[in-house]
Chains A and B, each alone.
Chain A
Amino acid sequence: MSSTAGRRADARTDSERTTAAPGGVPILAVDGLRKTFGRGRKEAVAVDGVSFELAAGGSLGIVGESGSGKTTTARMLIGLEQPTAGRIVLDGADHTRPARRIRDLRARGRLIQIVFQDPYTSLDRRQKIGDCLGEVVRLHFGLSGSALDARVRELGELVGLHDRQLRALPRELSGGQRQRVAIARALAAEPKILILDEAVSALDVSIQAQILNLLADIREQRGVSYVFISHDLAVIRQITDTAIVMRHGRVVEQGQTADVLDSPQDPYTRLLRDSVPHAGWRPGADALVTS
């Protein structure tokens, strides 16, 4: 990790200030992850020496400004992007290189899945919701007939979608319902880790609360671990145990979410915290503190 990445992030000795999994093997461990795009003079560093751990059944938040490398990190975790350097360990096995063979792709899919901000673009607009879920279940578990139908209905129930909605096309559903579909589809593979990249950001407040409660229930019932990416610090507080703060591709601070938000150590984390509108807020008052 480069020296300017911040002492705070490197201060691994202080147990309260790391995301290290408490005891046992972490379900996800990332070490020195780096990603550059382009070459030579055009080379841009998107992710620069990122390290963190996620405990089995835990929930890790990634916060940071636009362009700080959150999505690029997520894409490397699910194997959509090959890291330039560093290591990704999922459930004890090295998964640094993206899977190529079908069998490996499937195995990775059963380990880790992702939900993006706008599910509409990732759903097939001519495919009914139930068929879309069924396809994933068949692929991973080879179910068919009534066993398949039952599993699809069960998935629908898990995320609060009724039979009628399972027979609908994506465009017939509201944004909140489509996000439920995206979550159900990701869970259909029964992954151990679910990445949610700004997955509740575009939702109305009342729907966002429903989905956050749903995600908490699923974690409790299924023991799925979350990597939760968001700009929204209040959402991060509600849904994660540990958090890392990224800026310019680096981790500037990490620790228990409550500690990071209540007593931010890094000036950038403090700026983020103070930028959230609150009573007596003066917009821009802190803007120039950024280094």
Chain B
Amino acid sequence: MSALLEVDGLSVELPVAGEYRTVLQDVSFSLDAGQTLGLVGESGSGKSMTVRSIAQLLPPGARTSGSITFDGASVLDLRGDALRKFRSRDVSMIFQDPRAHTNPVRRIGDFLTEAMRVNGRVPRREAERRAVELLAEVGIHDGERRLRQYPHELSGGLLQRVMIAASLAVKPRLILADEPTTALDVTTQSEVMAILARLQREYGMAMLFITHDLELAAAVCDETVVMYAGAMVEHQASSRLHTDPLHPYSAALMQARPEIERRVPRLPAIPGHPTSAFETPDGCAFAPRCRFAEDACRAALPAFERVGDGEYSRCRRAEELRGQLLVPAVVSHEEVVR
């Protein structure tokens, strides 16, 4: 059986001030029905661009190479009705900031029933009844009242549930969730994740789940891809990521996070700041911040290579360093740089 979604060698360039800038480089992964794949990385690493490429929602003028296959069809070649059907029925997107994706002067009810009434030609009363059912599915039990409310009358968590309800109306086969819980507090995040997990189980939907929170990805995704500067640097089972990272960046990210169980005298911060693909020097993009960097790392971009069964890394020292990445540095690189 072939995968539901297959992304192969995807690269994207965007025009900025008259010149093309690489924002994604050689991204490849596949996703089966019912599976959740996590995409993790800091800002500018290309997570949203990956999702927008799949949904064919790239900014105008974008140049794409590589392929994206959904259920056997080439997404990059979809046009007209086929593209509309793909966007409106096969995939749904959930965004970080639900408020930016609703119209402040339109009621929740209009927002939820519009697609049904326009695309599905469902009569108003019937569409509203279905909307109330959808709201119940995401844990909102006073749906009739909510339909008459405006977005500003709902908290961020409630509004995100409404967005999820809307994206489920068509029972998509793939959910593209771009940091859906980043703006929520932890208790609300937990509730929203529970809803997504249940619906996914019930409908067998595949989900591409974007987050910058490695712990969250590890907890809810089957596999996780770590991105840095527009490229994938690691891909493996989420359950192993925390104990056996395969790339110095993933390890450094985990170490830089404070822990709820203990306080450390000093956090092992990563020196410098995250960069975008077009700002990176030749060679390994992470080299300027990597405590394991050697001269050879700066010579050529390391290949994204298999390190073991279902395990991939874009580090030329991956095999040699395996098992040592989480060992604390004796002198933190940060102090050396300063």
Contacts and interface: CB of A to CB of B under 8 A. Distances in A.
Interface in B247-261: 252-253, 256-261
A271 B187 CA distance: 7
A287 B184 CA distance: 15
B298 interface: no
A253 B187 CA distance: 17
B240 to A, nearest CB: 11
Contacts of A283: 189-194, 197, 219-220
B242 A233 contact: no
Nearest to B190: A275
B329 interface: no
A209 B186 contact: no
Contacts of A216: 266
A275 B193 CA distance: 11
B194 A287 contact: yes
Contacts of B257: 205, 209, 234
A126 B256 CA distance: 34
Contact of B187 (A65, A208, A232, A238): A65
A157 to B, nearest CB: 11
B185 A66 contact: yes
B210 to A, nearest CB: 14
A279 B155 contact: no
B132 interface: no
A284 interface: yes
A276 B256 contact: no
Interface in B321-338: 334, 338
B273 interface: yes
A239 B191 CA distance: 27
Nearest to A208: B256
A164 B221 CA distance: 43
B80 to A, nearest CB: 39
A22 interface: no
Given A65-B187, A237-B263, A284-B193, A209 B219 contact: no
A168 B259 CA distance: 35
A278 interface: yes
B259 A212 contact: no
A206 B194 contact: no
Contacts of A233: 186, 260
A261 B267 contact: no
A38 to B, nearest CB: 15
B197 A206 contact: no
A272 B268 contact: no
Given A279-B242, A284-B195, A231 B186 contact: yes
A197 B73 CA distance: 48
Contacts of A239: 258
Given A234-B257, A275-B186, A206 B220 contact: no
Contacts of A275: 186-187, 189-190
Nearest to A241: B263
A261 B215 CA distance: 18
A286 to B, nearest CB: 7
A223 B288 CA distance: 34
A234 B260 contact: yes
Contacts of B266: 213, 216
Interface in A159-206: 160, 174-176, 204-206
B28 interface: no
A237 B260 CA distance: 6
B256 A206 contact: yes
B267 A207 contact: no
A123 interface: no
A142 interface: no
B260 A206 contact: no
B190 A65 contact: no
Give the most central of A160, A204, A273, A285: most B CB within 10 Å: A204
Given A204-B212, A209-B268, A212-B267, A281 B273 contact: no
Interface of B: 42-43, 155-157, 184-195, 197, 212-216, 218-220, 242, 252-253, 256-264, 266-271, 273-274, 289, 334, 338
Given A206-B273, A277-B213, A286-B190, 16 more contacts: A65-B187, A160-B338, A206-B256, A206-B270, A212-B267, A213-B267, A234-B257, A238-B263, A261-B260, A274-B190, A275-B190, A277-B218, A283-B193, A284-B194, A287-B187, A290-B187
16 contacts: A66-B156, A66-B185, A66-B188, A206-B256, A213-B266, A231-B185, A234-B257, A234-B260, A237-B260, A237-B263, A275-B189, A277-B220, A283-B190, A283-B193, A284-B193, A284-B195
